[in-house]
Amino acid sequence: MTVLIDIVKDQARSENGQRAAALSAKYETMTAQEILRDAIRNEFFGDITLSSSFGADSAVLLHMVSEIDPSLPVLFLDTDRHFFQTLQYRDELKAKLGLQNLVVLKADETEAASEDAKGTLWRTNPDACCDLRKVRPLNRIMEGGKHFKVNPLAGWTQDDLDAYFARYDLPHHPLIEQGFPSIGCFTCTKPVETGQDARSGRWAGTEKVECGIHNPIYGGEGI
């Protein structure tokens, strides 16, 4: 079974684990739109956000959310290292989809000045840079309580994503046609050659493959 619900915080305590497993089973036969609608209007009503990188495939979930509740908070981690095209794309999608509640999260200024005064932490310690600019800002807004991550696109393929873009005439991130199928910070993202893994341009030349905000705690398969 594809795991659609992941416990993000409080570890896998039995009560939380049971709810996550029950929701995952419930959502197994639903479409992505049905999952989102139920999560937003029923299971997590008034207490749910969408976290978006405004990257290559982000328009799909953003469009689905805009059709259900355009006032839903959309969290965007501004690392101060984004391609300018990503910021333009963010603003374009926000306007086109009528998203009403974009919440921009950034590193604490004092921490950034102390830990990355020269702005080169991405080169000397990329894990620490991601922790400073991504993990901690997200953790601050999630402090306290129980948190679940809903993965409505867990079973989708690239063909599914492409078909959705075409069906709803969604704009693509402008860097895709320049050889960036996966887009992160400009300091740590390179274009890839045809046939290479889509994420091979992320932290190229290092063993790093993930920024730290997607590490699963409950389940794991399909996340």
Tell me the pLDDT band of 166, cut-offs 50, 70 and 90. Answer: very high
| 194 part of a folded domain | no
Of 223, 217, 151, residue with least CA distance to 7: 217
The per-residue pLDDT for range 185-220, each reduced to its tens digit, is: 998 888 887 777 777 767 666 666 666 666 544 333
Query: What pLDDT, on the 0 to 100 scale, is given for residue 15?
Result: 73
Q: Which residue has the higher pLDDT, 43 or 214?
A: 43
| 211 part of a folded domain | no
The per-residue pLDDT for range 143-162, each reduced to its tens digit, is: 766 788 899 998 999 999 99
Q: Which residue has the higher pLDDT, 208 or 131?
A: 131
| 143 part of a folded domain | yes
Percent share of the chain, pLDDT over 70? 83
Picking from 117-131, 172-186, 188-202, which range would have the lowest pLDDT averaged per residue?
188-202
| 68 part of a folded domain | yes
| CATH code for position 47 | 3.40.50.620
Compute the average pLDDT of residues 46-67. 96
What residues make up the domain containing 132?
5-156
| 75 part of a folded domain | yes
- The count of domains in the chain is 1
Answer whether residue 69 shows pLDDT above 90: yes
Compute the average pLDDT of residues 40-66. 95
| 222 part of a folded domain | no
Annotated catalytic residue within 129, 130, 188, 211: 211
Q: Give catalytic status of residue 129 as yes or no.
A: no
Whether the CB-CB separation of 99 and 70 falls below 8 Å is answered with yes
| 214 part of a folded domain | no
Task: Provide the mean pLDDT of the chain.
Answer: 86
| 138 part of a folded domain | yes
